[in-house]
């Protein structure tokens, strides 16, 4: 089952670069992992340290296979209600659900206390520098106490049972609101009554996430990419690295010591926009890699991209060539994020 996700962007700061547009829906999957062995189940599938999460704290993690490849990226939250709340990509929903269900059955057959429930919820993302201010008008909770990657269940503009998580896919402050399907239209309508709130489509979301250096599954990471190659080593929990008890650990952990052939890097150029599948070449004109995501940056007024190159070409400041429309143009390896993130943390 796939759940539609609407992006409601509050325009401000770098979000002002985008004109209001009709929202194009995309999808996510929301799941509860239940039972006293819920952490054991999740840690058998992902690379993160789920056991260390505080109540209502979440983390980005990765499903991996035994070859070290990334099956999907997901957010796992350890809720104060006694379950794990999991949000993953609907494009990978069938394999993600099968992966979790198979592990549930395996552990249940061992006598473990674990279960799985698919949530019948929609997800609304309200993003931008004053997103919390806009939302505060519709909730009783003090959102100043809700820092990045934490969540709370509350009533939002009259819709009860919403889980509000301080996160998003734009690099800006904002929230993602898991809302029962029956109340989704009412909530979206209530948010849009604020004249400063506009609907944002996928083009706006994609350029924002790229400016923030965030991966898109299926483009920048996939089953043939390891977390280290994808510059996502930070998702590997310290305890999990030492225990080497996650799928693909025998491949991934040695790569942390430098035994990796390629890495995801940021690229910047002032010529024509770099697009996915554009060849990356060294200065001698030999193809060394491929662009995985690229677009003009409204904030920087330059073209930005991500792609994979051999490690010897991954240092920021390295000059390369990118082939765009059969013409070669200069590009420079750049640090990410291209635009500083504005996540909200408690002062």
Contact predicate 320/267, CB 8 Å: yes
SS (H, E, C) the chain: CCEEEEEEEECCHHHHHCCCCCCCCEEEEEEEEECCCHHHHHHCCECCCCCCCCCCEEEEEEEECCCCCEEEEEEEEECCCCCEEEEEEHHHHHHHHHHHHHHHHHHHHCCCCCEEEECCEEEEEEECCCHHHHHHCCCCCCHHHCCCCEEEEEEECCEEEEEEECCCCCCCCEEEEEEEHHHHHHHHHHHHCCCCEEECCHHHHHHHHHHCCCCCECCCECCCCCCCCCCCHHHCCHHHHHHCCCCCHHHHHHHCCCCCCEEEEEEEECCCCCCCCCEEECCCCCEEEEEEEEEEECCCCEEEEEEEEEHHHCCCCCEEEEEECCEEEEEEEECCCCCCCCCCCCC
Bond preceding residue 316 cis, omega within 30 of 0? no
94 is in an annotated binding site: no
> How many whole angstroms separate alpha carbon 264 and alpha carbon 246?
22
Sequence ranges of the binding site: 176
Enumerate the known binding-site residues for substrate: 176
């Amino acid at each position: 089952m796939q759940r539609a996700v609407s992006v409601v962007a509050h325009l401000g700061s770098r979000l002002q670069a985008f004109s209001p547009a009709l929202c194009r829906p995309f999808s996510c999957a929301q799941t509860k992992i239940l039972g006293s062995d819920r952490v054991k189940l999740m840690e058998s599938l992902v690379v993160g340290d789920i056991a260390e999460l505080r109540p209502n704290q979440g983390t980005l993690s990765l499903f991996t296979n035994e070859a070290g490849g990334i099956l999907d990226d997901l957010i796992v939250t350890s809720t104060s209600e006694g379950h794990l709340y999991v949000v993953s990509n609907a494009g990978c929903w069938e394999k993600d659900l099968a992966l979790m269900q198979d592990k549930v059955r395996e552990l249940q057959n061992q006598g473990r206390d674990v279960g799985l429930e698919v949530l019948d919820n929609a997800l609304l993302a309200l993003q931008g520098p004053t997103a919390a201010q806009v939302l505060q008008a519709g909730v009783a909770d003090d959102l100043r106490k809700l820092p990045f990657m934490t969540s709370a269940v509350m009533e939002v503009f009259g819709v009860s049972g919403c889980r509000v998580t301080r996160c998003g896919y734009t690099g800006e402050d904002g929230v993602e609101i898991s809302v029962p399907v029956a109340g989704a239209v009412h909530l979206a309508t209530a948010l849009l009554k604020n004249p400063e709130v506009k609907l944002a489509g996928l083009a706006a979301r994609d350029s924002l996430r790229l400016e923030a250096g965030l991966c898109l599954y299926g483009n920048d990471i996939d089953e043939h990419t390891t977390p280290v190659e994808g510059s996502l080593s930070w998702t590997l929990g310290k305890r999990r690295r030492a225990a080497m008890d996650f799928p693909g650990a025998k491949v991934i952990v040695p790569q942390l010591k430098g035994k990796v052939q390629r890495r995801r890097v940021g690229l910047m150029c002032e010529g024509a926009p770099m697009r996915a599948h554009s060849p990356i070449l060294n200065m001698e004109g030999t193809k060394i890699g491929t662009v995985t995501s690229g677009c003009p940056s409204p904030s920087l007024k330059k073209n930005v991209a991500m792609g994979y190159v051999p490690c010897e070409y991954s240092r920021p400041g390295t000059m390369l060539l990118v082939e765009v429309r059969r013409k070669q143009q200069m590009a420079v390896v750049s640090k990410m994020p291209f635009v500083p993130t504005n996540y909200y943390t408690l002062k």
